[in-house]
Amino acid sequence: MKYQPSKPVRRKTKSKKSTKKITPGMILKYSFLVLFVSFLVTGIYQYRHGFLYYLGFKTNKRIEALTEKKGKLANLRIYEILDRHKDKVYGIDVSHYQGEIEWETVEKENPEFPLHFVFVRSTTGSNGLDTEYKTNWKSAKKHGYVRGAYHYYRPDENSVQQAENFIKTVKLSKGDLPPVLDVEKIPNRQSMDSLKNGLKRWLSIVEKHYGVKPIIYSGESFYTDFLEEEFEDYDLWIANYSFFEDEIRKEWLIWQFTDKGTVKGIKGNVDVDIYNGDLTRFNELVIK
C-alpha cells in the first residue's frame, strides 16, 4: 500500500466584517426621514383637536357651517383656528368674484357662524369700479353688518387718480369701518421706491378726505418684504393661509385666515377674517 501524505489542514481564517461606508446620500436620506417624522408629530400635536374632529370623535357646528365638507383634511386648520378664537369677531370680504350674493340668506341661514362685518371691494386702479360694489355696499348695511370698503391698488397707475376714484365712489358714514388700501403686487414699470411713494400719497389723500386713518391689507410675506419698515404706523389686515399659522398675531388688526370658507347665500368660496379683539373693542374701531 502506497503511503499517501495527508493533506495539510487549512485553518479557517475569520472573515473581516464588512463595514458599510456612510455616504452623504445616506446622511441626507436619514436626515429627511427624521425631519419628516418630526414634522408629522408636530403637526398631529398642533392640530390634535382637529384630527379628532376629522376622525369623527368631535363635532363642531361652526366649522360645519363654514366649510364645504366635513372630511376635508384642510379643515383641520380651520377647526383649530375657530376653536382658539372663540372670543374674537368674524367677518368676510366680498367682490364681484362672489357673483350675486343672496344677502337675505346670508343673514338668516348662518346662525352657527355669526358674522359681524363685511368688507366690500369698491374700486380698482385709477378708474375701475367693482361691478357688485353698489349692491353689496347697500345690502351689507341693510342686513345688519358693519361694512367697510377697500380699494385694490394697481402699482403702475397714478396714485392720486386711484385715491380720487375711491373717494368719488365710496361714501363712508357713522358706523362704517375705516377705508382699506389693498396692495399685494410689485410693479412692472416703476421702482419699489416709486410704489411706496404712491401708496403714501393714496393713504394721505384718503385720510385727509375721511378724517380717519386707513387700514393696509396685504399678504403677510409681501408686507414683511416690502412695506413693513415704512408703513408700520398703519393698522394691518393680513392674509396668511399657512398650515402652521393658527394664532392671530398681536400686530395684526385683522387676519384673513382662509380663502376657502363657505357661507350660505354665497356661491363658491369666500375669504373669512378675524378681528383681533372682542365685540366691545371692535365697536371702537368704527367711524364715530
- Do residues 254 and 85 make contact, with C-beta atoms less than 8 angstroms apart? no
Q: How far apart are CA 183 and CA 155, in angstroms?
A: 8
Hey, what's the cell of 230? 415704512
Helix (H) or strand (E) holding 147: strand 146-152
For 200, phi then psi, to 5°, come to: -65, -40
> Taking Cα atoms as reference points, which of 172, 166, 94 lies closest to residue 125?
166
C-alpha distance from residue 201 to each of 101, 159, 222 (Å):
34, 7, 19
Q: Contact at 8 Å (CB) between 267 and 248?
A: no
Does 184 participate in catalysis according to the annotation? Answer: yes
Residue 125: left (phi > 0), alpha (psi -120 to 50), or beta? left
- Let me know if 193 is a catalytic residue: no
Catalytic hit among 93, 130, 220, 246: 93
Residue tagged active-site, from 68, 83, 184, 235: 184
State the alpha helices, DSSP H only, in the chain.
24-46, 48-54, 61-66, 75-84, 103-108, 133-142, 159-169, 192-210, 220-222, 228-231, 279-283
Handedness of CA 184, 190, 192, 196 (dihedral sign): negative
- Please say whether the beta carbons of 283 and 111 come within 8 A: no
% helix, strand, coil for the chain, step of 5: 40, 15, 45
The catalytic residues are: 93, 184
